[in-house]
Chain A
Amino acid sequence: MSPFPTSPAPGDQPVLVAGGISDSHTWNLVYLQLLLEEHGQRVVNLGPCVPEELLITEALAHRPALIVVSSVNGHGYHDGMRTITRLREHPELTAVPAVIGGKLGIAGPCGDDEVAALRAAGYDAVFDDSAEGVDAFLRMLATLPQRALV
Chain B
Amino acid sequence: MTGVGFGAFVRRAHDAGRLVVQPRMGMSSPERMRAGLLATRNATATTVGTITLDSYTRVGDLESAELAVLEGVALNGYPIVSHDRATTLRVLDGIHGPGFPVQVRHGSAAPQHIFRALTAVGLDASEGGPVSYCLPYGRVPLRESVAHWAASCRLLATVGESGAEPHLETFGGCVLGQLCPPSLLVAVSLLEALFFRRHGIRSISVSYAQQTDPGQDAEAVAALRRLCARHLPDTEWHVVVYAYMGLYPETEEGAYRLLGKAAELAVASGSERLIVKTVAESRRIPTVAENVAALEYAAAVAGRTPRAPLEATGTQTYAEASALVDAVLELDDDLGTALLKAFAEGRLDVPYCLHPDNAGFSRSYIDADGRLRWADIGKMPLNGIADVRPAQAVTSAGLLESLSYVRRSYDRYDPEDTRSAEPARP
Contact = CB atoms under 8 A, between A and B. Distances in A.
A133 to B, nearest CB: 14
Contact of A75 (B75, B137, B139, B359): B75
A2 B353 contact: yes
B360 A23 contact: no
Contact of A106 (B61, B75, B352, B394): B75
B356 A1 contact: yes
A31 B399 contact: yes
Interface residues of A, number: 31
Contacts of B55: 22-24, 73-75
Nearest to B28: A106
A24 B59 contact: yes
Contacts of A108: 283-284
A4 to B, nearest CB: 6
A34 interface: yes
A58 B57 CA distance: 25
A4 B284 CA distance: 28
B354 A24 contact: no
B399 A34 contact: yes
SS of B interface (majority): loop
Contacts of B177: 27
Nearest to A108: B284
B111 to A, nearest CB: 14
A31 B400 contact: yes
B64 interface: yes
A107 interface: yes
Nearest to A2: B360
Interface residues of B, number: 37
A2 B352 CA distance: 8
A30 interface: yes
Interface in A38-68: 38, 45, 47-49
A95 interface: no
B73 interface: yes
A30 B136 CA distance: 13
B236 to A, nearest CB: 30
A56 B360 CA distance: 27
Given A74-B76, A75-B76, A30 B358 contact: no
B296 to A, nearest CB: 23
A75 B75 CA distance: 7
A49 B59 contact: yes
A103 B284 CA distance: 8
B61 A1 contact: no
A38 B395 CA distance: 8
A3 interface: yes
A4 B138 contact: no
A24 B106 CA distance: 12
Given A74-B285, A75-B76, 16 more contacts: A2-B355, A2-B356, A2-B360, A4-B354, A4-B360, A22-B56, A22-B58, A26-B353, A26-B354, A30-B352, A35-B396, A74-B76, A75-B54, A75-B75, A78-B73, A108-B284
Interface of B: 54-56, 58-59, 61, 64, 68, 73-76, 107, 136-139, 176-178, 283-285, 352-356, 358-360, 394-396, 399-400, 403
